[in-house]
Amino acid sequence: MYLEKINGPEDVKKLSGGELNILAEEMRSALLQKLSKRGGHFGPNFGFVEATIALHYVFNSPIDKIVYDISHQSYGHKMLTGRKDAFLYEEHYGDVSGFTNPKESEHDFFTVGHTSTSVSLASGLAKARDLKREKGNVIAVIGDGSLSGGEALEGLDFASELESNFIIIVNDNDMSIAENHGGLYKNLKALRESNGECPCNLFKAMSLDYIYVAEGNNIEKLIEAFHQVKDSTHPVVVHINTVKGKGYTFAEKNKEDWHWHMPFNIETGESTRNFTGESYSTLTCDFLMKKMKEDPTVTMITAGIPTSMGFTEDKRKEAGKQFVDVGIAEEHAVAFASGIAANGGKPIFATHSSFIQRTYDQMSQDLCINGNAATLLISTASIYGMSDVTHLGIFDIPLISNIPNMVYLAPTCKEEYLAMLDWSIEQNQHPVAIRIPCNGVISTGANIKFDYSQLNQYEVKQTGNRIAILALGDFYQLGEQVAEAIKIQIGEMPTLINPRYITGIDAKLLESLKANHEAVITLEDGILDGGFGEKIARFYGSSDMKVYNYGFRKEFIDRYKVEEVLKANRLTPEQIVEDVVINR
Amino acid sequence: MYLEKINGPEDVKKLSGGELNILAEEMRSALLQKLSKRGGHFGPNFGFVEATIALHYVFNSPIDKIVYDISHQSYGHKMLTGRKDAFLYEEHYGDVSGFTNPKESEHDFFTVGHTSTSVSLASGLAKARDLKREKGNVIAVIGDGSLSGGEALEGLDFASELESNFIIIVNDNDMSIAENHGGLYKNLKALRESNGECPCNLFKAMSLDYIYVAEGNNIEKLIEAFHQVKDSTHPVVVHINTVKGKGYTFAEKNKEDWHWHMPFNIETGESTRNFTGESYSTLTCDFLMKKMKEDPTVTMITAGIPTSMGFTEDKRKEAGKQFVDVGIAEEHAVAFASGIAANGGKPIFATHSSFIQRTYDQMSQDLCINGNAATLLISTASIYGMSDVTHLGIFDIPLISNIPNMVYLAPTCKEEYLAMLDWSIEQNQHPVAIRIPCNGVISTGANIKFDYSQLNQYEVKQTGNRIAILALGDFYQLGEQVAEAIKIQIGEMPTLINPRYITGIDAKLLESLKANHEAVITLEDGILDGGFGEKIARFYGSSDMKVYNYGFRKEFIDRYKVEEVLKANRLTPEQIVEDVVINR
């Protein structure tokens, strides 16, 4: 086996053409084994095996620097840069992360997990190289799906200004996570169909030099192309046409399902883990499909991740013009939603907590200054969300809740979520964001009639004494546990409150608590800094009320275990009782 | 005079070709008078007079909806849509804002002041029109300078997906605020030089239909072009070549100086108000020029507003390759800076508080997760900054300071600013942002030797009793006044502290204050929600220390008077003494 002997790019360079092809098959085989057991990004990695080999064959990493966009296609790179064991041996599967990471290897230059960043990041490496009067190639790899993102387009536009060596590999597999959306993809198609000869060329329109490689899974052709651009003295795009999921029939056939895949049976392609029961994505999709049928102005918008809200291909088709996937373009999505609302439509834009970060200015300027009634659904906004450092869901409260005019709601159960969603779609006064619970679908059976237009009215779920607990969103159930634990400890039931609104204070209620409470506990599933609890601490700052804020420390955590993070932040009921009751 | 009789677009349609040309001259004359007295956006408005007339001649606003990007070119539109008095009569000059505003007129659809948003916002209007099965044209106007912004490029890429009426007027005057930067501008040039015939065409590469108008200041030609695209059943770009500052020699000659201009003498073009003395922009520029000469890896980066940091044309030339204006592309700027730092360079990116909003995800993902030592300079971050609702400088503390790994510094005087800037450039451990003071250049003569690597160490400026004041950044001087006022009231000097760091707590110092203080006052030049003071309130939440947070309410304010806003937020020394000492 060749792969076993690859300890770095220098070992790739020793192989002959035929051996490189065998190496490619070995890499695919290792990927297939590992991903079938652990899950992960499938399609992009399978499609980029040959290009990875060719890159390391032609260039001299780490003197030549390769930056992978979003790094969904970097597993092969990891295999060839001293990290093969993490793909060959099950006991080492956990040794590497799913993204590039400078702490893992000198061949990785950035920790990357969001799309559309490679061209800008790599252009900075190139600029520093030039300032230091050093040599070497800088290579940005970017997938076609990532090209629609504003940062990528800004970077492409800027690249020609470098006027020095800079190589952009466009890995075009004619797919985003789902199908591509946007006019530029017709240009990529025209380029593919004309063997790169089509005179109208997005990259040339950005003043970049350009070459095309039709056989993007042919190592020999790729080596030839990379040799051609190596040591180029000006920026150049190498547009390569690859097959997403290449080499595994199921993945080649159903590219969307196999972009990322959970563990599966290699023979049948069937998932070995099955999630049954309700999820907030199917609940949301079902609810919105119904709303769309009742009202032709209800429009669901996603930005490249339609299935994360249950909008599979058939649902998208069924929704027709009332479903819009804008591609990876969150900024556009929010401004577009604001425009729809301004003209009397009812837009809903859904994305992950980590990706809503890409559109702060649009939330503030395009949406909230204008007070347009669009609905934003924020998913995986929780410590129970994605645990990679680049996809954390614990920063959206400071991000969203401090924008004036925004109403950010935190439902505590399924019924409350749907009531809030329904209200938000039907009202026309406020920009609204809803923080979808992430601790499983908890159904209380409640029949909720509350009018959420009465902003910032908290709900007292249980009236008690001495201590009041403000338990926000999906930490409400933790609040129930804390209440129980306190009751056991002090023999008296504390007050339990569902704040409902992240964006405002129920001053009247908080004021009234002073009469028979000495302490308030706040619980939130996000970082404490800039969050909900601090607003409560400010409110009570000059009073005698003691305030205990619980949430997470402001830090980037990576591949964590939820239970450990909760403990480290003193977020178990026992720890809270200890702090607030026993040791106070 | 025709202009006096224009009460709405219907009056424009009554005029003959010759009369329209006279109207254009009258509009320019009114603009010249008003801007010479009040200042404002000059170049873009002068260049877009003819297009504005042609738009209102051909289309039927407000059924046909025109959305102006950034709305720097909307003064003419205001004149023709019932708001001429605000340009004709000095006593009415203040009646309208400098930006489009739905509260002013049914012909305005959004309050807009940031660039690159019109295509996305307008595409939302078009989508809602289609969902409602209504008719009418939707027109997005966008300047060439705004095209480099990620949101604009995302919007252009998306537009073709509308598959219905959508008209994008590209107002190409071959200038951003300063000269344009980016590869796409070479394509615009090629299009201009080929009368729109050049086969490589950015807009066609985005799958948009396209027509070109060489004489963008010729009403007749514009009317012809607009008639051609009116009621188009698919998205189309009308690329018009206009002259920025058209009709006023000084403005045509020196386009950068006349993009926005303060009041001036019409005959000589000379400013009638002169700012003399030091400013933080010239101080910064001088300091950085010196640093650049000492170290070839120091790089100054701006995003379309180079002179706001003193980098006038001659300074830019002098800095050479160590100065980079990326054009309007803040996302790219931050990622680019991170890349430079990752490869051993010393990048500084400067922009306004309001514009740093455009790059939250890049600060978080590209910069702070990677811990790269780039310096961000945040200007006009203050109630003393720009007072238009779209340019407020009071939201950056919640935005920036809650990102892990970021070190956000708040200097209180010139010497401290330069010490922090110097430290930030020379260290290689932390992403750093510096909040440039905005209350005038205050020189204390201090010789600062502090090593800012000792994160979160606050400076006790004066040791006192009972009350401690944490006075952040340019509210430090307010802190001094409050301290004096308290001393007079209670006969005892309070403790006065310069926190220096917005991003962290000096737990040791705060703990020590408990010994002989009963209350802490925090002062910050920003909104309270998610801000600095709330962190202090959280720290003391469960203790007996009383905390009083002072700053601004979370709201969008517009064209305000600073003194009034300070009073409304109880931010005068008298009010603070009243709250904290007299009425507590």
Tell me the per-residue pLDDT of B478-505, one tens digit each, with 9 for 90 and over. 999 999 999 999 999 999 999 999 999 9
Please answer yes or no on whether A128 and B297 come within 8 Å at the CB atom.
Answer: yes
**How many percent of chain A have pLDDT more than 70?**
100
pLDDT of residue A576 exceeding 90, the answer is: yes
Give A38's contacts (C-beta < 8 A, 6+ positions apart). Answer: A93, A263
State mean pLDDT over A158-174.
97
Contact B158 A357 (CB under 8 A): no
Instruction: Identify which of B130, B183, B549 has the shortest CB distance to residue A157.
Output: B183
Is B128 in contact with A331 (Cβ distance < 8 A)? Answer: no
Joined tokens for residue B135: 């008719």
Measured between CB atoms, does A189 come within 8 Å of chain B? no
pLDDT tens across A421-479, in order? 999 999 999 999 999 999 999 999 999 999 999 999 999 999 999 999 999 999 999 99
Q: Report the pLDDT value the prediction gives residue A314, as an integer from 0 to 100.
A: 96
d(CA A244, CA A276): 28
CB contact under 8 A, A206 and B184: yes
| Average pLDDT rounded to a whole number, residues A501-526 | 98
- CA closest to B202 among chain A residues: A205
Check CB contact of B361 with chain A, cutoff 8 Å. Answer: yes
Mean pLDDT of B502-512: 98
B352/A contact by beta carbon, under 8 A = no
The phi, psi pair for A239, rounded to 5°, reads -90, 110
Alpha carbons B352 and B309: distance in angstroms, whole number = 10
The pLDDT tens digits for A341-384 are: 999 999 999 999 999 999 999 999 999 999 999 999 999 999 99
Q: According to the model, what pLDDT value does residue A178 have?
A: 84
* Residues in chain A within 8 Å Cβ distance of B392: none
Residue of A nearest to B209 (CA): A183
Task: Give which of B107, B114, B153 to mutate to test A binding, by max A Cβ within 10 Å.
Answer: B153
pLDDT digits (tens, 9 = 90+) for B551-560: 999 999 999 9
DSSP-assigned letter for residue B279: -
Of B177, B221, B227, the residue nearest B50 (C-alpha): B221
The answer to whether A54 contacts chain B (CB < 8 Å) is: no
Coil, strand or helix: which one is B79? helix
Q: Are the beta carbons of B365 and A112 separated by less than 8 Å?
A: yes
CA distance A3 to chain B (A): 30
Tell me the pLDDT band of B122, cut-offs 50, 70 and 90: very high
Interface test with A, best of B67, B100, B106, B158 (most A CBs within 10 A): B158
A557 touches chain B (CB under 8 A): no
pLDDT band at B54 (very low <50, low <70, confident <90, very high): very high
- Mind giving me the DSSP string for A335-398? HHHHHHHHTT-EEEEEEEHHHHGGGHHIIIIIIITTT---EEEEES-STTS--SGGG-SSSHHH
Contacts of B206 in chain A (CB under 8 A): 182-184, 187, 202
Which chain B residue has its CA at the smallest distance from A328's CA? B154
- B302 forms beta bridges with B325, B350
pLDDT, average across residues A143-165: 97
- Note whether A158 contacts B327, CB cutoff 8 Å: yes
Stretch 313-342 of chain B: residues touching chain A, C-beta under 8 Å: 321-322, 324, 326-327, 329, 331-332, 335-342
Contact B100, B111 (CB under 8 A): yes
What's the mean per-residue pLDDT of chain A? Answer: 97
What share of chain A has pLDDT > 90, as a percent? 98
Of A109, A199, A554, the CB nearest to B404: A554
Banded model confidence at residue B273, pLDDT cuts 50, 70, 90: confident
Q: Which residue of chain A has the CA closest to B204?
A: A200
Q: Which residues of A touch B156 (CB under 8 A)?
A: 183
- A63, closest residue in chain B (CA to CA): B343
Residue numbers in A near B368 (CB within 8 A): 556
Place B274 in a pLDDT band, splitting at 50, 70 and 90. Answer: confident
Top residue of A70, A125, A154 to mutate, by most chain B CBs within 10 Å, is A154
CA contacts within 13 A on the Cβ side of A316: 17
Q: Which of B69, B107, B120 to mutate to test the interface with A (most CBs of A within 10 A)?
A: B120
The pLDDT assigned to B513 comes to 98
Amino acid at A450: F
Q: Which of A474, A466, A471 is nearest to A499 (CA)?
A: A471
Q: How far is B382 from chain A (nearest CA, A)?
A: 16
**Cross-chain Cβ contact B124/A343 below 8 Å:** yes
User: Could A127 and B534 be called an inter-chain contact, meaning their C-beta atoms sit closer than 8 Å?
Assistant: no
Q: Residue B237: which of B94, B313, B106, B141 has the closest Cα? A: B141
Whole-number mean pLDDT of chain B?
97
Q: Which residue of A has its CA nearest to B118?
A: A335
- Chain A residues closer than 8 Å to B109 by CB: 342-343
pLDDT of A242-276, one tens digit each?
999 999 999 999 999 999 999 999 999 999 987 77
Which parts of A146-242 are beta strand (E)? Answer: 166-172, 209-213, 235-241
Which stretches within B274-324 are classed as H helix? 280-294, 313-319
> How many angstroms separate the CA of residue B287 from the nearest CA in chain A?
19
The closest alpha carbon to B285, from B377, B416, B407, belongs to: B377
Minimal-distance CA residue of chain B relative to A296: B131
pLDDT value for A275: 73
Q: Are B336 and A117 in contact (CB < 8 Å)? A: no
- Assessment of whether the complete model's pTM goes beyond 0.95: yes
Please give the single-letter amino acid code of residue A144. D
* Chain A contact present for B62, CB below 8 A: no
Confidence of residue B311 (pLDDT cuts 50, 70, 90): very high
Choose the mutation target among B131, B166, B180 for the interface with A, i.e. most A CBs under 10 Å: B131
pLDDT value at position A283? Answer: 97
Instruction: Indicate the DSSP class of residue B352.
Output: E
Is pLDDT of B449 > 80? Answer: yes
The C-alpha of B280 sits at a distance from chain A's nearest C-alpha, in angstroms, of 26
Please write the tens of the pLDDT for every residue from B56-113: 999 999 999 999 999 999 999 999 999 999 999 999 999 999 999 999 999 999 999 9
Confidence of residue A277 (pLDDT cuts 50, 70, 90): confident
CA distance B269 to B255: 13
CB nearest A151 (choices: B111, B362, B528): B362
**A541 inside 8 A of chain B by CB:** yes
The verdict on a CB contact (< 8 Å) between A132 and B102 is: no
Q: Would the CB atoms of A337 and B124 count as touching at under 8 Å?
A: yes
Residues B61/B233/B149/B97 CA torsion (nearest 10 deg): 0
Say what the pLDDT of residue A561 is: 98
- Check if A239 contacts B (Cβ < 8 Å): no
Q: Is A242 exposed, middle or buried (0-12, 13-18, 19+ CB in 10 A)?
A: buried
Quick check: A17 and A220 in contact, CB under 8 A?
Answer: yes
What integer pLDDT is reported at residue A260 of this predicted model?
92
Average pLDDT over residues A277-285: 94
**Per-residue pLDDT averaged across A117-142, rounded?**
98
In this predicted model, what pLDDT tens digit does every residue of A37-75 receive, in sequence order? 999 999 999 999 999 999 999 999 999 999 999 999 999
Tell me the chain A residues in contact with residue B327 when contact means C-beta distances shorter than 8 Å: 157-158
Higher pLDDT, B211 or A273: B211
How far A332 CA lies from chain B's nearest CA (Å)?
Answer: 6
Phi, psi of B209 (to 5 degrees): -70, 160
* A369 contacts B556? CB cut-off 8 A: yes
What pLDDT does A273 receive?
A: 83
User: Which of B155, B199, B342 minimises the CB distance to A332?
Assistant: B155
Cis previous bond, B404, omega within 30: no
Give the tokens for residue A453: 């237009």
Which candidate, A416, A557, A441, A573, places its Cα nearest to that of A500?
A416
Residues facing residue B469 across a β-bridge: B496, B521
A237 touches chain B (CB under 8 A): no
Mean pLDDT of A92-121: 97
Q: List the beta bridge partners of residue A235.
A: A166
Residues 155-174 of A with CB under 8 A from B: 155-161
Does the beta-carbon distance from B360 to A399 stay under 8 Å? yes
Whether residue B277 is predicted with pLDDT greater than 90 in this model: the reply is no
* ipTM surpasses cut 0.95: yes
